[in-house]
């Protein structure tokens, strides 16, 4: 690494430190630390939302999955924009902001708890975030660390440690103000880098039309011949094993959707598109962003910014991930992307460093680090506030003078846990995308009916909310442990207890847990609410009337 690169990295870290310091100086109260004071500029809010939403899990994880499974992943881009931005901002943003103000709520579990006047809901929500979010956080850590390893040629564990220490510093100091300021800067870097990437990649392979048409040829040359080979003859987890697996699942090419209702179709639609696309609506670290602006107008102004950002980030990286197969075929002795790299999660880092000029790899380094750090900072902030505000403060007494200290300690503890998970999970196939999809599905199944009902249905009761959250938690956990084809097999509990990898068989094992748990959780919320006594008129008035 030359002197100029060293200087730029030092300047970048210095700017992050400065923004964290600004956040620290502007943090005068718990509201400042938890929701950035509630007066954030819409540009900052939109970029913070987008940068938090789009992490290395999307760029490295799902970009690598696109190299494996092709452009069918663009259905996730559609869901990200329509559900994750349009529906989230237009239909949920302002009701969330207004109710948050009425109830003086500063975290997502606190919003739900105060809506139903239930300390249990707030504590339970905080505990669930603390238990499950490290799974997603570890995926983001792995994605960012993989690129550091590819660029600097350093040990994975050293890169993991460095990234964790840097994020810890400015999250602890600046609270959400510092997080959102750094998010905005990192969002701009990510956007610029992605536009440059798209232009350079398609220029290298002859343009969009030529590149996509070549994908068909590369599939025919590198994947189609596997149709004559039994999957049992291939090493488990090898590139050819994964490509043969995709064929067995009904994939017909990188430019085509899998056969309708095949295993691959169910995986793409229920896990990738719907699991992540719907799950984004109940992400604690994203919902709290709606509480950081002061009016509906700011939210409306943020929609266009957020939409453009998501299109650029997800649409481009999924297309690029898919067409890396063309570049590798032409420049690596007729091999596709997976055959040329060591795993799905390594495709994008390896491609950027092998195919792009050194100066662009350096720029993209900052985009990847920005994507990782913007999401990680928000995740650690969400987990820390869950421990300090939603669990400790509720159990120890509101306005406890130690709650902010406990929050910061909680952040450190969650970072340690996430790093440990990233240490052990790195070698799992497609672990980045899988962990992300699992966490998003969990949030949707557990929180979404309570969140929607709390915002829009006055008749929903505390008992209905609690029952719904329990059903969402139990069904999702059961499906992952005993049914879903990948998780049930790898966890091994089903095999140990019942002698089989899954209690069910056939295509239903490819249906995502959310597709089963969310409808049952929603039905439970409605049924129990209708069977129980309505909440007091005073609470309803407090929640819904200005």
Q: Would you say residue 473 lies in a domain?
A: no
Q: Would you say residue 374 lies in a domain?
A: yes
Question: Which SS3 state, helix, strand or coil, does residue 509 take?
Answer: helix
Chain centroid to Cα 151, Å, comes to: 23
pLDDT tier, 52 (very low <50, low <70, confident <90, very high otherwise): low
Q: Would you say residue 453 lies in a domain?
A: no
Cα Rg for the chain, rounded, in angstroms? 23
Tell me the average pLDDT across 164-170: 70
Tell me the average pLDDT across 186-204: 85
What is the pLDDT, as a whole number, of residue 295? 66
Q: Quote the CA–CA distance of 106 and 385 in Å, as a whole number.
A: 9
Structure-token pair, residue 484: 């879903």
> Given a cut of 80, is residue 88 above it in pLDDT?
yes
Tell me the average pLDDT across 323-345: 87
Tell me the average pLDDT across 525-530: 97
What is the pLDDT, as a whole number, of residue 477? 93
Q: Which helix H or strand E contains 232, and what residues bound it?
A: none
Lowest mean pLDDT among 72-76, 189-193, 528-532: 189-193
Cα dist from 251 to 212, 266, 390, 418, 485, whole Å: 16, 11, 45, 34, 17
> Given a cut of 60, is residue 27 above it in pLDDT?
no
What is the pLDDT, as a whole number, of residue 104? 86
Length, in residues, of the chain? 546
- Give the phi and the psi of residue 333 in degrees, each rounded to 5: 60, 45
278-312 pLDDT per residue, tens: 988 988 878 877 777 666 777 777 778 878 888 88
Domain that holds residue 158: 3-432
> Given a cut of 60, is residue 242 above it in pLDDT?
yes
What is the pLDDT, as a whole number, of residue 34? 46
Q: Which helix H or strand E contains 160, and what residues bound it?
A: helix 156-204
What is the pLDDT, as a whole number, of residue 32? 47
Tell me the average pLDDT across 442-452: 94
Tell me the average pLDDT across 45-52: 69
> Given a cut of 50, is residue 37 above it in pLDDT?
no
Q: Do residues 362 and 9 lie in contact, with contact meaning Cβ atoms separated by under 8 Å?
A: no
Q: Would you say residue 441 lies in a domain?
A: no
Cα dist from 123 to 288, 387, 408, 539, whole Å: 17, 9, 18, 19
Task: Check which CATH number belongs to the domain holding 50 and give it.
Answer: 1.20.1730.10
> Given a cut of 70, is residue 237 above it in pLDDT?
yes
Q: Do residues 130 and 332 lie in contact, with contact meaning Cβ atoms separated by under 8 Å?
A: no
Better pLDDT: 388 or 35: 388
First to last CA, the chain: 58
Q: Would you say residue 281 lies in a domain?
A: yes
pTM of the model: 0.84
378-431 pLDDT per residue, tens: 777 788 888 888 888 888 766 666 667 787 788 788 888 888 888 877 666 566
Residue listed under structure tokens 């992490």: 55
> Given a cut of 70, is residue 177 above it in pLDDT?
no
What is the pLDDT, as a whole number, of residue 426? 64
Tell me the average pLDDT across 316-322: 91
Percentage of the chain beyond pLDDT 90 is 30
What is the pLDDT, as a whole number, of residue 51? 67
> Given a cut of 50, is residue 36 above it in pLDDT?
no
Enter the DSSP assignment of 484: S
Q: How many domains does the chain have?
A: 1
Lowest mean pLDDT among 2-6, 25-29, 198-202, 336-340: 25-29
Question: Which SS3 state, helix, strand or coil, does residue 451 take?
Answer: helix
Chain centroid to Cα 543, Å, comes to: 30
Most confident of 159-168, 358-367, 510-519: 510-519
Q: Do residues 105 and 122 lie in contact, with contact meaning Cβ atoms separated by under 8 Å?
A: no
Q: Would you say residue 176 lies in a domain?
A: yes
Question: Which SS3 state, helix, strand or coil, does residue 206 take?
Answer: coil
Mean pLDDT score across all residues of the chain: 83
Q: Do residues 52 and 370 lie in contact, with contact meaning Cβ atoms separated by under 8 Å?
A: no
Q: Would you say residue 195 lies in a domain?
A: yes
What is the pLDDT, as a whole number, of residue 26? 60
Q: Would you say residue 278 lies in a domain?
A: yes
């Amino acid at each position: 690494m030359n002197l100029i690169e060293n200087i730029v990295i030092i300047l970048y870290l210095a700017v992050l430190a400065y923004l964290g310091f600004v956040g620290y100086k502007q943090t005068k109260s718990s509201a400042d630390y938890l929701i950035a004071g509630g007066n954030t500029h819409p540009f900052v809010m939109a970029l913070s939302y987008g940068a938090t939403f789009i992490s290395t899990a999307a760029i490295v994880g799902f970009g690598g999955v696109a190299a494996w499974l092709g452009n069918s992943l663009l259905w996730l881009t559609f869901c990200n924009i329509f559900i994750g931005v349009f529906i989230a901002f237009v239909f949920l943003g302002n009701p969330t902001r207004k109710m948050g103000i009425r109830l003086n709520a500063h975290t997502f579990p606190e919003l739900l708890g105060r809506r139903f006047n239930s300390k249990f809901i707030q504590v339970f929500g905080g505990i669930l975030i603390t238990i499950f979010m490290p799974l997603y956080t570890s995926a983001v850590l792995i994605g960012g660390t993989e690129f550091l390893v590819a660029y600097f040629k350093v040990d994975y564990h050293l890169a993991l440690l460095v990234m964790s220490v840097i994020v810890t510093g400015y999250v602890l100091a600046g609270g959400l103000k510092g997080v959102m300021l750094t998010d905005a800067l990192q969002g701009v870097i990510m956007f610029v880098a992605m536009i440059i990437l798209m232009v350079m990649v398609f220029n290298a392979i002859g343009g969009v039309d030529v590149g996509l048409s070549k994908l068909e040829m590369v599939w025919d040359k590198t994947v189609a011949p596997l149709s004559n080979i039994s999957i049992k003859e291939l090493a488990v987890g090898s590139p050819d094993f994964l490509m043969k697996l995709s064929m067995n699942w009904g994939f017909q090419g990188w430019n085509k959707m899998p056969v309708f209702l095949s295993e691959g179709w169910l995986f793409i639609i229920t896990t990738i598109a719907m699991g992540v696309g719907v799950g984004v609506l109940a992400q604690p670290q994203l919902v709290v962003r709606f509480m950081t602006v002061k009016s509906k107008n700011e939210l409306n102004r943020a929609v266009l910014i957020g939409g453009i950002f998501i299109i650029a980030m997800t649409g481009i990286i999924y297309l690029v991930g898919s067409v890396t197969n063309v570049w590798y075929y032409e420049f690596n002795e007729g091999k596709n992307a997976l055959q040329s790299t060591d795993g799905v999660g390594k495709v994008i880092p390896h491609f950027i460093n092998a195919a792009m000029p050194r100066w662009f790899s350096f720029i993209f380094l900052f985009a990847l680090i920005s994507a990782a750090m913007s999401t990680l900072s928000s995740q650690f902030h969400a987990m820390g506030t869950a421990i300090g505000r939603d669990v400790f403060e509720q159990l120890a007494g509101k306005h406890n003078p130690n709650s902010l200290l406990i929050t910061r300690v909680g952040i450190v503890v969650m970072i340690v846990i996430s790093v440990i998970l990233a240490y052990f999970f790195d070698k799992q196939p497609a672990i980045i995308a899988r962990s992300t999809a699992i966490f998003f599905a969990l949030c949707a199944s557990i929180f979404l009916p309570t969140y929607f009902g709390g915002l829009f249905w006055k008749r929903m009761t505390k008992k209905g909310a609690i029952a719904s959250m329990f059903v969402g938690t139990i069904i999702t956990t059961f499906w992952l442990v005993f049914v879903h084809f990948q998780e049930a097999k790898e966890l091994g509990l089903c095999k140990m207890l019942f002698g089989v990898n899954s209690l069910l068989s056939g295509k239903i094992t490819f249906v995502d847990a959310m597709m089963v748990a969310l409808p049952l959780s929603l039905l439970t919320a409605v049924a129990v609410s209708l069977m129980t006594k309505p909440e007091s008129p005073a609470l309803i008035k407090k929640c819904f009337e200005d």
